Chains A and B, each alone.
Chain A
Amino acid sequence: MLRSLLTIDGLVARTRPAWGWLGQVALCWLGAHLAADTLDDLLGGWLAGCGIAWPEPEQPLIAGTWAAVVIELVVAGWVLWVRSRSLDQLRTAKEWTRRWSIRAIVAPVAFGVFGLAGAWVLAMAVEDGLAPLWPAVAGPAGTVTGLVIAARLAVPGAWRTVVGTPVPRRRWDGALAAAPVLLLTVLAARHGLPVWGWLP
């Protein structure tokens, strides 16, 4: 029984390159949304104060929410594009330094933060799902799920964008997308990681 299970496990593992990226990308999308969810109010306030003559008083707030949606979708597309291009297998740090670009620097940071925020979203979901059935188990189960997802999907996703760095056409490749990506990365780090409450 165990031998059969291990065989199936091995067979499934061999197909991982075909679907492993999907979990990493979806995890980043979850984390990016957690960050974008805090962005609409910020953008609404900024649009209201930036001197545009809005036809209706409520419009900057509505525009702020839609702007947050657009930024989230742009970042989601960028995450998918970056992951689809990270297919190489660099072996030394020197190889990476020959390939560095803005994208190569931004991508691991964004994937790491989005992935960890996404792992926390799943940890919370598991805890909430189990709480009505096994209240005593729900908290630890959520924490373990979050840690396992971080270890198996979030960290490897960020690492893949390092070892899979493609040869850039220019050093400033990725500069255009860096602003919205870093904006959501900072918000995900600030509002999507359960660490700030523990810091002095």
Chain B
Amino acid sequence: MSVIREALYEQGSSRRRSAPSGRSPRWGLLDLCLTLLVVAAMITRTPTGGLLTYGWERLRGHSADLPTLTAWFSSGAAAPPAEILDALPAPLPAVPDALPEPWRTATHSSLANRIPHPLRDRLKAEGQPVDAEHALLAIDELFRQTEDPTLALEQAALGSDAVTRAVGRAAAAGEDEPQRFESHRRFLSASAADEADRFVGGTVALATVLDLAWPLQVEHRVTSPYGERMHPTLKVRKFHDGVDLSVPIGTEIHAAQAGKLAVVGKGGASGNYVVMDHGFGVRTSYCHLSETPLARGTEVERGDVIALSGNTGRSTGPHLHYGVRIAGKTVDPERFRVTKP
């Protein structure tokens, strides 16, 4: 208790620099070490620290890039590497009791790109070759134990101990469903969270987009594909970040994947619109709708009707604008259509 009492009286007072007992101040080295530890953590873990580092570098005359302040906010979102998205993997044959499809295909594709260190160490310790095939079998084994594909991927990427610690902390903080990656990600160490975002986030995002359903179940045609185009109303060249699908007003729009309605909005160029969050940075958007009967936050299953198509906003005729984003980056929705019935 004397440690606390002295700290209360000594720290930061400009008028009184000794403890009430009259003894000389103590614990200076301890407090200095703690202060250095805290300041180091603050600099590396907060946007304020990033700004201070940037300002310090500029004061010293060094060139420094202004940090992306939103990067310190946890999302669990990481786009799979561009080479994986550019050449989508062919589906693997289904294996009983192993990771289900399309998780297995996505995981194999990620492992072919990079095998996380804990998994690499595990394979070496077991005397197995360190390649994507054996790493996938190891994750299949983890899946049999956990029966949760995300948790199996996380344990493979970080090791079981790190995941157990984070789950325990999330439970102590009273988070709902601490086993879920989104709930305990904030409680991983900074390096583990980065690794989890890259391997787990990237793999789950890939599995999610490989399993996207098409939002229309009626005959339709693509009137404007993804990419650079002459804008039909603005008459300037503009990047089109989705596809336009010509359908009559009132056509049912189906959820491309299970998830939550993150945004239900109206007005502006998009007219009435819905943005769905499927987790791990995968979002789909549906614009120019006539009706949006579901409220923001509603959880829906893959294929559920979420809205009716329309001709609202900046539109030259009845159509659905359908967009897909992974970790904030737009991708061509038609690229993921081929895998769907």
What is A's interface to B at a CB cutoff of 8 Å? Answer: 5-6, 8-17, 19-24, 26-27, 29-30, 32-34, 36-38, 40, 44-45, 48-49, 52-58, 60-62, 65-66, 68-69, 72-73, 76, 83, 86-89, 118, 121-122, 124-125, 127-129, 131, 135, 148-149, 151-153, 155-157, 159-160, 163-164, 190-199
Q: 1/0 per residue B275-319: CB within 8 Å of A?
A: 100000001010100000000110000000000000000000000
Residues in B with CB closer than 8 Å to A54 are 265, 267-268, 270
Q: Is the CB of A128 within 8 A of B285?
A: no
In the complex, which residue of chain B has the Cβ closest to the Cβ of A128? B189
Q: Is the CB of B12 within 8 A of A16?
A: yes
Residues in A with CB closer than 8 Å to B266 are 53
Residues in A with CB closer than 8 Å to B25 are 10, 13-14, 16
Q: How far, in Å, is B129 (CB) from chain A's closest CB? A: 25
Q: Which of B16, B30, B73 has the most CB of A within 10 A?
A: B73
Q: A37-B186, A148-B34, A153-B34 are in contact. Are A73 and B12 (CB under 8 A)?
A: no
Q: Is the CB of A122 within 8 A of B38?
A: yes
How many chain B residues touch A (Cβ–Cβ < 8 Å)? 73
Q: Is the CB of A191 within 8 A of B173?
A: yes
Q: How far, in Å, is A192 (CB) from chain B's closest CB? A: 7
What are 14 A-B residue pairs whose CB atoms fall within 8 Å in the complex? A23-B39, A26-B38, A44-B262, A54-B268, A55-B268, A55-B270, A56-B269, A57-B273, A65-B70, A73-B47, A73-B51, A88-B15, A131-B161, A131-B162
Contact of B72 among A15, A33, A190 (CB under 8 A): A33
Q: How far, in Å, is B224 (CB) from chain A's closest CB? A: 17
The answer to the question of B123 belonging to the interface, with a C-beta cut-off of 8 Å to chain A, is: no
Residues in A with CB closer than 8 Å to B32 are 12, 19
The answer to the question of B249 belonging to the interface, with a C-beta cut-off of 8 Å to chain A, is: no
Q: Is the CB of B11 within 8 A of A33?
A: no
Q: Is the CB of A197 within 8 A of B172?
A: yes
Q: A12-B29, A57-B287, A87-B14 are in contact. Are A197 and B174 (CB under 8 A)?
A: yes
Contact of B46 among A23, A33, A194, A198 (CB under 8 A): A33
Q: Is the CB of B42 within 8 A of A26?
A: yes
Cα of A49 to Cα of B325 in the assembled complex, Å: 21
Q: 1/0 per residue B182-195: CB within 8 Å of A?
A: 00001111001000
